[in-house]
Chains A and B, each alone.
Chain A
Amino acid sequence: MIKIKAKDVDVFYGKKQALYNISLDIEENQVTALIGPSGCGKSTFLRCLNRMNDVIDICNVKGEILINDFNINDKSCDVVRLREKIGMVFQKPNPFPKTLYENVSYGPTIHGMAQSKQEMDEIVETSLKKAALWEEVKDRLHEPGTGLSGGQQQRLCIARAISVRPEVILMDEPCSALDPIATAQIEELIDELKKEHTIIIVTHSMAQAARVSQNTGFFHLGHLIEHGPTDKIFKNPDNTKTQDYITGRFG
């Protein structure tokens, strides 16, 4: 089933066009990987999906992005509700300078999702369990989140993102600041999370895209060159540029 449908999306930074005519369908409860060389616009596209580009003054997004058949670029779209439904994990772990507990309870608090302390405790616990962090941190929930290791911090950020039970999770190179062991943990986690969430991941690692994703989109210089099932993209791409990139001949 199609969860997100992008139609003719153009993005401009000031006068410079960053994305050209992107049309892409994202399948529900699957992992979609966006690959491509640096500066090709894959992160920009990702940030369109929860309207994070609003934060950048000079950024201008055109076209339709339908999530559950609702155009999020429409004026009637409430960004706060949208971002509640579409979580995001960033390239560099960015836990708030607060305790672990406060980090995870942040989203539920601002969206008023818990009526009592007990409910909140439950949300925090299940989120941390889903992020595979609970066993490591259950005894120090009230210590600062910034005291964790890089991999733990990133899993904390994932726990923070899933605490509001989003339908979609956007991941912007979530493993680029992590070592191979932490990366393996996160990849395992992504596999687990796709049961309940639709996941879109931007990655520089071809191997990672091949390991975790069911669908892949290849971006180059602001254009979506090719997209389709990961197997096909990696084994038998239609476009020679895709072939070249995947085999490491450029990028």
Chain B
Amino acid sequence: MNLILFTFIVLLGFTSYYFGRRKAYTIQSSKKRLTALPQFYGYYLAIWCAIPAFIIFSLWAIFEPTIVKLLVLSDYSNQGYLDDELNLIYEKTKSLSRGQFTGEITPFIEASAEKYLSLRSIAQSSKAVIVLSIIIASVAYAYKRISSNSRTREPVEKFLNAVLFTASLAAILTTVGIVFSLIFQTIDFFKVIPLFDFVFGTHWYPAKAFVRDSSEALDPTMYSDTFGAVPIFAGTFFIALIAMCVAIPIGLMSGIYLAEYASSKVRKYAKPLIEILAGIPTVVYGFFAALTVGPFLKELGTSMGLEVSAESALAAGGVMGIMIIPFISSLSDDVITSVPQSLRDGSYAMGATKSETIKRVIFPAALPGIVGSILLGVSRAIGETMIVVMASGLAANLTFNPLESTSTITAQIVVILIGDQAFGDPKTQAAFALGMSLFLVTLCLNIVALRVVKKYREKYE
């Protein structure tokens, strides 16, 4: 029903566009000058069709359920039911009307289900009638108003402006919403777990916080030595550090090679090949790390007399570094290529060699962009989940030995939220606290990056 109505409105929109344009052509043919191109007259009418339809649809969506509910429940209003019971009756009525009710059917509920259905169908048809008549009225009004010198371009442009504004507003509001839900859950978490214990505690063992009933859940003594986040913060930075040790030199050097040394033929093939690396799903990197690199490192270590865990930070960090190479190499290649040729010429003309030119002129000029690409890589490394989950284990050991297993913030969020969990349980809220800290870290990273880039920027014309 709604779909048919919607299709009908869209058709009406197109028709009014057509009529608007046609009227404009008619005005034009009578040798009067239009104030805008004919299609603006069409858009103008289409907007007069779309806005009322949108307003009525949204009003209906807001008020219809409430009104129907009030009318259905008015039969019960004098019989002394509590609010909760009324809600239950209403839910039963609705599921009965959909034919999904499986309990005992009383005549009362059956009667209200019928009433509910008839109210719904009345609502639907009146909606159709009201929407269509209002649209037609508004389009007709606008059609009459169109004349050679009526303003149509400005309203259309304003409408577009409003649509674009709404789109960006939606994106911003989503961000704000996510951040706030993180903040509130985190605050709840810290009501039970002291902030100090979370930030400075060295034992992370969320499985210990498994509770059977809610009376236990709020007993803070239960959680001592459970949510100490130091091991996973340390693990996160440690693995990211290993990853960057792999990614920065290789990525940067291959970026420099591609931009400055490679012939255009090599560049044409090499760059897309490197960028393919960025298209590999991280899960694939994950099992590459877990099934190939991890065991290989273990064997290599054993043959040298070292004790290497099959799930080592080195395997996870190394593979993560490989994953990040294309970001750094491709971005720094772009940045270096965009340094103006005149600077290169200036340096070569002074008798500088290629490597001197790169080191002393091009690299400094490209530095802000390169720092940007590195920081992008770092935030990828800190946010990466799958490789760590698969290759570095889930036990949060506090260690800086790359040959042992360790865990990261993201991997722990996965551990916490896999399987059954209760909302409002500190174990679940811990995931939000971790998410919040991850968010704060990347936010600080970005702010620092912007500052650094601004301060050390060497501007070229």
Residues of A within 8 A of B (CB): 50, 52, 55, 57, 79-84, 87-88, 90, 92, 94-98, 106-107, 110-111, 144, 146, 157, 160-161, 164
Instruction: List, sorted by A's number, 8 A–B pairs whose CB atoms are closer than 8 Å.
Output: A80-B352, A82-B351, A83-B350, A88-B349, A90-B342, A92-B342, A96-B365, A106-B350
Flag if B360 contacts A94 (CB, 8 Å). no
Bound complex: CA A52 to CA B343 (Å): 13
Question: Complex formed: what's the CA distance from A80 to B354 in Å?
Answer: 10
Cross-chain contact B360 with A106 (CB below 8 angstroms): yes
By a beta-carbon cutoff of 8 Å, the part of chain B in contact with chain A is 263-264, 340, 342-353, 356, 360-361, 364-365, 458-461
- Cα A173 to Cα B227 in complex, Å, equals 70
Bound Cα distance from A68 to B396, whole angstroms: 73
Once the chains bind, are A52 and B345 in contact (CB under 8 Å)? yes
CB-based contact A96/B343 at 8 Å: yes
The residues of B that contact A97 with a CB separation of less than 8 Å are 343, 361, 364-365, 458-460
Shortest Cβ gap from B194 to chain A (Å): 50
CB pair B351 A111 closer than 8 Å: yes
Q: Give the contacting residue for A110; candidates B352, B365, B460; CB below 8 A.
A: B352
Q: Which residues of A contact B343 (CB under 8 A)?
A: 94, 96-97
How far in angstroms is the closest Cβ of chain A from B458? Answer: 3
The residue in chain A whose Cβ has the minimal distance to the Cβ of B348 is: A55
Q: Are A94 and B348 in contact (CB under 8 A)?
A: no
Q: How far is the CB of B262 from chain A (nearest CB, A)?
A: 12
Chain B residues closer than 8 Å to A95, beta-carbon distance: 346
- CB-based nearest B residue for A109: B360
Tell me if A83 and B460 are in contact (CB < 8 A). Answer: no
Contact check: which of A84, A96, A144 meets B347 at CB < 8 Å? A96
Closest to A170 in B: B349
- Given pairs A81-B351, A97-B365, A106-B350, 4 additional interface contacts (CB within 8 A): A94-B340, A110-B352, A110-B360, A144-B459
Residues of A within 8 A of B351 (CB): 79-84, 107, 110-111, 164
A103 smallest CB distance to B (angstroms): 9
B357's closest neighbor in chain A, by CB? Answer: A110
* A96-B349 contact in complex given A55-B344, A144-B458, C-beta closer than 8 Å: no
The docked-state distance in angstroms from the alpha carbon of A88 to that of B350 is 7
**How close is A150's CB to chain B, nearest CB, in angstroms?**
10
Measured between beta carbons, the chain B residues less than 8 angstroms from A83 are: 348-351
Cβ B349 vs Cβ A87 within 8 A? yes
Q: Name which of A92, A97, A157 has the most chain B CB atoms within 10 A of its CB.
A: A97
CB neighbours (8 Å) of A144 from chain B are 458-459
Q: A91 — nearest CB in chain B belongs to which residue? A: B342
**Are A90 and B346 in contact, with the CB atoms below 8 A?**
yes
* Chain A nearest CB, measured from B267 CB (Å): 12
CB distance from A74 to the nearest CB of B (A): 18
Set of chain B residues within 8 Å of A160, measured between Cβ atoms: 346, 350
- Bound CA span A106–B345, Å: 14
Cα separation A227 to B461 with both chains bound (whole Å): 37
Chain B residue at smallest Cβ distance from A85: B351
A205 to B340 Cα, complex, angstroms: 26
Do A96 and B361 touch across chains, with their CB atoms under 8 A apart? Answer: yes
CA distance A94 to B346 in the complex (A): 7
Q: How far is the CA of A52 from the CA of B342 in the complex (A)?
A: 12
Shortest Cβ distance from B342 into A: residue: A94
Chain A's nearest CB lies how many Å from the CB of B261? 12
A57 lies within 8 A of B263 (CB): yes
Q: How far is the CA of A184 from the CA of B458 in the complex (A)?
A: 30
Question: What residues on B are CB-neighbors of A161 within 8 Å?
Answer: 349-350
* Bound CA span A52–B356, Å: 16
| Cβ of A161 to closest chain B Cβ, rounded Å | 8
Contact of A50 among B342, B346, B349, B364 (CB under 8 A): B349
A164 x B346 contact (CB < 8 A): no
Residues of chain B lying within 8 A (CB to CB) of residue A79:
351
Name the residue on B nearest A51 (C-beta). Answer: B348
Task: Compute how far the CA of A90 lies from the CA of B349 in the bound complex, rounded to whole angstroms.
Answer: 10
Q: How far apart are the CA atoms of A110 and B342 in the complex, in Å?
A: 19
Nearest A residue (CB) for B264: A57
Question: CB-CB < 8 A to A110: which residues of B?
Answer: 350-353, 356, 360
User: How far apart sit A157 and B349, CA to CA, in the bound complex (Å)?
Assistant: 11
Q: How far is the CB of A171 from chain B (nearest CB, A)?
A: 11
Distance, CA A111 to CA B349, complexed state (A): 13
Residue of A whose beta carbon sits closest to that of B339: A97
- A79, B352: Cα distance in complex, Å: 9
Residues of A within 8 A of B344 (CB): 55
In whole Å, how far is A109's beta carbon from the nearest beta carbon of chain B? 8
> Which 8 A-B residue pairs are closest in the complex by CB-CB distance?
A97-B458, A83-B351, A88-B349, A94-B342, A84-B351, A107-B350, A97-B460, A94-B346
- In the assembled complex, the CB of B49 is this many whole angstroms from the nearest CB of chain A, namely 55
B350, B360, B364, B459: the one contacting A146 at CB < 8 Å is B459
Complex: chain A residue closest to B361, CB-CB: A96
Q: Which residues of B contact A98 (CB under 8 A)?
A: 364, 458
Across-interface contacts of B360 in A (CB, < 8 A): 96, 106, 110
What is the bound-complex CA distance between A68 and B353, given in angstroms? 23
Q: Which of A98, A110, A146, A164 gathers most chain B CB within 10 Å?
A: A110
B240 CB to closest chain A CB (Å) equals 31
Query: How long is the Cα–Cα vector from A98 to B350 in the complex, in angstroms?
Result: 15
How distant is A147 from chain B, measured CB to nearest CB, in Å? Answer: 8
CA gap between A94 and B342 in the complex, in Å: 6
A164 to B: closest C-beta gap in Å:
7
- Asked whether B460 lies within 8 Å of A146 as measured between CB atoms, the reply is yes
A52 to B460, CA, bound (A): 22
| Interfacial chain A residues near B347, Cβ < 8 Å | 96, 106
Nearest B-chain residue to A84, judged by Cβ: B351
Min distance, Cβ B65 to any Cβ of chain A, angstroms: 63
Of B346, B352, B461, which is within 8 A of A157 by CB? B346
Q: Which residues of B contact A52 (CB under 8 A)?
A: 345, 348-349
User: Contacts A57-B263, A90-B345 hold; do A164 and B350 have CB atoms under 8 A apart?
Assistant: yes
